[in-house]
Structure 1
Amino acid sequence: MNNFENALKHSDPVILDGGLATQLESMGFDIDGALWSAKLLASNPRAIVDAHRAYLDAGADCIISASYQASREGFALIGKTPEEADALIASSVALALNARQEFMTENTATDRAPIVAASVGPYGATQNDGSEYTGVYNIGVDELRAFHQQRLMLLDQTCADVLAVETIPNAVEAEVLAGLLNDVDTPAWISFSCRNGKELSDGTPLAEVTEQFAEHSRVYAVGVNCTAPEFISPLISILKNAAPKKKIVVYPNSGEFYHSHDNSWSGMACDFDNAFDVAAWQKAGVKFIGGCCRTGPNNIAAIRARL
């Protein structure tokens, strides 16, 4: 039984980390480009360890690897062969494990080892065009399956505690992943990006997409992430009704809007204390709670303090 499966046995909430890219940017790194945070896997792996440590030191029980945008295609843009790309993608989990080991060595009184989740981002995250926020892809089903199968099987062979299949914006991609996840050995969660309180980013009802995971043997939790916090409460209700046997995971963003043409954000960040009603979310049955884009270690520390 790994750390993720062990956490499922306990009633305590599990605090996830916040935006890895957000923390790396706050540390002074330029992460623009198709690889986003993943480019530091090649250029500055220590920075990724330090970013993970910032979240562990803030009280996170789970850190998510820097593989969200990582792909063979993306690494080819910086001259990496497929074999080199695969090694870099796998290294994202190794770096998270290193951060965990450092944390455990320095915090001997802690009674549970933090969870290491391998991020499996959507196809759109590798395109650098914002399509993970719209669900509009220019790719066929067979190509989409091949893209996910290669990376999913690679991450399944690492020592991650759980596969964090996250920010899935459309129904076709969810269906493809439902099939592929039947063949993994590592436990998984799947979380969707939603444009309002009832629909995925592509407009498909969340209930409809979630139902296919209700009895899935390898998916232990369903949820939403990279979604405005104002929509979280109604989405929790939908998730619970659509997959009543599964744990619930939520990690919203700051409520700002992303612009893919220049990698910028606009709008007002939410009033964190009011918008992230984490006590109410826990009371509603959420097991895993954290933050996504534009949330940082200070936000995770605040969640820890309130739960």
Structure 2
Amino acid sequence: MRALHRSSLPQVEGRDMLTDSGLETTLIFLEGLDLPCFAAYPLLASAEGRARLRAYFRRHLAIAAEHGTGFLLEAPTWRASRDWGAQLGHGPEALARFNALAIALLCDLREEAGTVSPVVISGNIGPRGDGYRPDTAMTADEAQAYHAEQIGWFAATAADMVSAFTLSTVNEGAGVIRAAAEAGLPAAVSYTVETDGRLPDGTPLADAIEQTDMMTAGAAAYFMVNCAHPDHFRTALQTGAPWLKRIGGIRANASRMSHAELDAAEALDAGNPDELGRDYAGLRRLLPGLRVFGGCCGTDHRHVDAIAGCCLAHGTGSPAARRATACP
């Protein structure tokens, strides 16, 4: 399967795309792995680790095949940047190799994806600090300089785009977008919100998206929301305002726990997959540009299947369409 031209993302052009779920929580709580710093990228160093990652992504690709939709493959590199890598004993040269290995693994998965089309490969970026707390205050210039390193590693691979997840400040989002533009890669920025629908630094979601667009001349391909339950941000979306068109993806939690509660939790709260699917159907009605559907902490392939059944049913006789009759 040919790689996509970087200037053309099918989800921006109106194609519905599934993506994966809570990779790290699946590996930790469901598969019993120890992931220091919540980092999945070290698994790329071993054949066993790479096999686990392939199995995880294949489960999700199979759902896309059933529902007849495209798929957005996110690299397992959320923690594969300089500051987090240093905590795990990895310097820049090792991190560059890990990021390249991650994209190579996704390229292999794209080649074997069969009927799933299109398949987009994204270099996944996480926050410099704790995604639940704005504890690494940076200017937009500082954020650009920090994230430019990992984005540069992705630019040297077959990645089609970069996606930054669980960001908690506008400056970091703007820095990522600027760095991606310099590297010639489309970028999606995903903010996380607290139970009040505001970013962890107190910025309302609407202000965060509008300010980021102003600081970057609207250079982001689109925005997303991740790592929060729909109940936490649904009210912020019920405005009909123009900025809602900029939200192109949702990766929500199935759990209604706050970030503080999730941080302290010793057991997985997987919520209810069918309920989450119905929540997504409601979000789709509020967000005219919503095209990317996946999950975050506590979700797995069952949640993605339920979301697809409610939002992406194709054909009245398909299993997906029959399941969709239970969705509002």
Pick the TM interval, shorter chain. Answer: 0.7 to 0.9
1:180-210 superposed Cα distances (whole Å, 9 cap, x missing partner): 2331312111110001353111111222221
Match of 1:9 among 13, 16, 27: 13
Distance 1:274 1:27, change over 3 A: closer
> Which residues of 2 match residues 31-50 of structure 1 at below 5 A?
31-34=34-37, 36-43=39-46, 44-50=49-55
CA distance in structure 2 between the aligned counterparts of 1:202 and 1:275, rounded to whole angstroms: 26
- Displacement of 1:296 in angstroms is 0.3
CA distance in structure 2 between the aligned counterparts of 1:261 and 1:22, rounded to whole angstroms: 11
Residue 271 of structure 1 pairs with residue 281 of structure 2: no
Distance 1:41 1:2, change over 3 A: same
Q: How large is the Cα RMSD of the aligned pairs?
A: 3.0
- Displacement of 1:146 in angstroms is 3.0
Which ranges of structure 1 fall in alignment gaps of 5 or more residues?
125-130
CA distance in structure 2 between the aligned counterparts of 1:111 and 1:267, rounded to whole angstroms: 30
Distance 1:9 1:224, change over 3 A: same
CA distance in structure 2 between the aligned counterparts of 1:141 and 1:303, rounded to whole angstroms: 35
Aligned to 2:319: none
Aligned to 1:234: 235
Match of 2:62 among 57, 67, 91: 57
Distance 1:50 1:212, change over 3 A: same
Check whether the contact 2:21–2:304 (CA below 8 A) recurs between aligned residues.
Answer: yes
Residue 112 of structure 1 pairs with residue 117 of structure 2: yes
Distance 1:236 1:157, change over 3 A: farther
CA distance in structure 2 between the aligned counterparts of 1:296 and 1:191, rounded to whole angstroms: 19
Check whether the contact 2:174–2:212 (CA below 8 A) recurs between aligned residues.
Answer: no
CA distance in structure 1 between the aligned counterparts of 2:131 and 2:153, rounded to whole angstroms: 22
Distance 1:174 1:231, change over 3 A: same
Distance 1:262 1:113, change over 3 A: closer
CA distance in structure 2 between the aligned counterparts of 1:250 and 1:48, rounded to whole angstroms: 22
Aligned to 2:220: 219
SS in 2 for 1:165: strand
SS in 2 for 1:182: helix
Aligned to 1:128: none
Residue 280 of structure 1 pairs with residue 290 of structure 2: no
- Displacement of 1:278 in angstroms is 1.8
Identity of aligned residues (%): 23
1:102-161 superposed Cα distances (whole Å, 9 cap, x missing partner): 2x2xx3xx262322221111112xxxxxx2112222667765443212112222332122
- Displacement of 1:76 in angstroms is 4.0
CA distance in structure 2 between the aligned counterparts of 1:78 and 1:237, rounded to whole angstroms: 42
- Displacement of 1:244 in angstroms is 5.4
Q: Which amino acid aligns with 1:117?
A: S
Aligned to 1:164: 163
Aligned to 2:246: 246
Aligned to 1:83: 93
SS in 2 for 1:179: helix
- Displacement of 1:174 in angstroms is 2.4
Q: Which amino acid aligns with 2:79?
A: Q
Check whether the contact 1:53–1:100 (CA below 8 A) recurs between aligned residues.
Answer: no
Q: Which amino acid aligns with 2:55?
A: D
Q: Which amino acid aligns with 2:173?
A: A
SS in 1 for 2:228: coil
SS in 1 for 2:250: strand
Which ranges of structure 2 fall in alignment gaps of 5 or more residues?
65-69, 313-328
CA distance in structure 2 between the aligned counterparts of 1:2 and 1:22, rounded to whole angstroms: 32
- Displacement of 1:40 in angstroms is 0.9
CA distance in structure 1 between the aligned counterparts of 2:269 and 2:179, rounded to whole angstroms: 38
CA distance in structure 2 between the aligned counterparts of 1:265 and 1:170, rounded to whole angstroms: 27
Check whether the contact 1:35–1:70 (CA below 8 A) recurs between aligned residues.
Answer: no
Q: Which amino acid aligns with 1:121?
A: G
CA distance in structure 1 between the aligned counterparts of 2:236 and 2:5, rounded to whole angstroms: 29
Aligned to 1:28: 31
Match of 2:79 among 52, 61, 69: 69
Distance 1:197 1:75, change over 3 A: closer
